[in-house]
Structures are given as C-alpha cells and as structure tokens.
Amino acid sequence: MVKVLFVCHGNICRSPMAKYVFKKIICDMKLDHLFSCDSRGVSDVCQGDSMDLRSAKILKKYGYPFDNHCAKKILLEDLLTYDYILIMDELNQKHLYQMFNRNIQHGKVFKLLFFVPNYQRSDIADPYYTLDFETCYEDIYKGINEFLRFLNSKNDEHK
C-alpha cells in the first residue's frame, strides 16, 4: 500500500482539498485498495479547526465527498509513516526541512506541482490569502493526476 500525505500551512484549505480529491480519483480508478492518504499542516496555527468552508464549497461543486476534517500539524511519526509527502509550496517545504531535516529521506518529499511537466507554476498558492479556491483546485487536480501517472510509470519500470 502506498501512503501519501498532503501538506500545506495550516491544514484547512489546500491539503484537505488534495486529500479528498485524491481519494475520489483513486476510488474512481478502482485503486483505493492500493493507497492510503491524509493531510497535515507545517504549522499548528489551525490545529483542531475544520476545513475552510470555501474549500468545502469547491469540493461540493465538483462532486467530491468529504467528511469532518480536523486540522493537524505534521509530526516526525508522519514523516516516517508515509511514503510520499506532497507539499503545496516553497514555504511549506522550507518549514518542513527546518523541522525534520535529518529525518527526511531522499525521494520522499515533493511539491505537488513537481509532477506537472512544463507547468507555469511550481507552487499552489494559498487560497486563504489569494481567495482563488478555483485555481487552487485546478492545480491540485493536475498535480494529483500527474503524480499518479508518475507512480504508474515508476511501477512499469519495476515490472
């Protein structure tokens, strides 16, 4: 089973949105038995909070089921448990490396948009500040699909 953790700043906008988009995509592909996923933040500023209502609104708009989300900060245990840590932006990456530098294995932490070839952005902007939840969703959707394509090609190499 491949364990995937989505990480943003406070774990109320981008990373929970990514978690629920990922869950539905793998379920629709009938691959849900091969994956587990969750989300965290690099900060505890929103610890215990629900998902931002604007993220929930986007998920509803595009037909993604979701449940009661409770924001959590990433812990060392998460870093050791998950196979892939997919972060949303450069600042998240910086904070993650400040917290866990010696414990981060090579090839485990990626920006989600790293997997989208020739994309005009490398960061998924924080919609809490930009108020652009639509673009955030589009970036997450592209990143997840390309991440799954990456895993598929990696799996093909090992056959």
DSSP state of 125: -
CB 45 within 8 Å of CB 10: yes
Q: 74 near 42, Cβ under 8 Å?
A: yes
What is the side-by-side strand order in the sheet with 2-8? 35-41, 2-8, 84-87, 109-111
CB atoms within 10 A of CB 26: 20
Closest of 26, 17, 85, 91 to residue 55, by C-alpha: 17
Whether residue 5 contacts residue 124, with contact meaning beta carbons closer than 8 Å, is answered with no
Please identify every residue annotated as catalytic. 8, 14, 126
Furthest-apart CA atoms within the chain: distance in Å:
44
